[in-house]
Amino acid sequence: MREILFKAKREDNNKWVYGYYSKTDLGTFINQYRVDYDDECTYCKDYEVIPKTICEYTGLKDKNGAKIFEGDILREYGNEIEDWIVSYEYGSFWGTCDNVSEHLWEISDYEVIGNIFDKEVK
């Protein structure tokens, strides 16, 4: 079973925050929740986020161990170097490059180089 995790850009400072997604009448949020068993306490922090930047974790990691999210740009190092954009369609995660979509299965040659919401790409 894959880890359920989201990321989005915060409304207040435009930085990425990771956690659980929630939408209420008050806004759209990423909730960070942590349990510290040593001190027997729980911690929960809600960050209001920009809704269009919400990205779900695919459950996959790139060749360097980085988590792959929707909206990420993956560079494939094969016979040709190609950049793929990750999206969620038809109940699963896909990569699209030059108007060709492929299901994301084997990703050992892929590296996260950026995402569609940030201008800089490695």
Domain layout of the chain by residue ranges: 6-51, 57-115
List per-block mean pLDDT (blocks of 10 residues) for the chain, which spans 122 residues. 89 94 94 71 84 94 93 86 88 86 76 87 48
Separation of alpha carbons 122 and 105, rounded Å = 23
Q: What is the predicted pLDDT for the residue at 106?
A: 65
Exposure string of 76-115, with b = 16+ CB inside 10 Å and e = fewer, is beeeeebbbbbbeeeeebbbeeeeeeeebeebeebbbbbb
| CATH superfamily entry for domain 57-115 | YopX-like domains (2.30.30.290)
Helix (H) or strand (E) segment spanning residue 60: strand 55-61
Q: What is the DSSP letter of 63?
A: T
Q: Would you say the pTM of this structure is higher than 0.85?
A: no
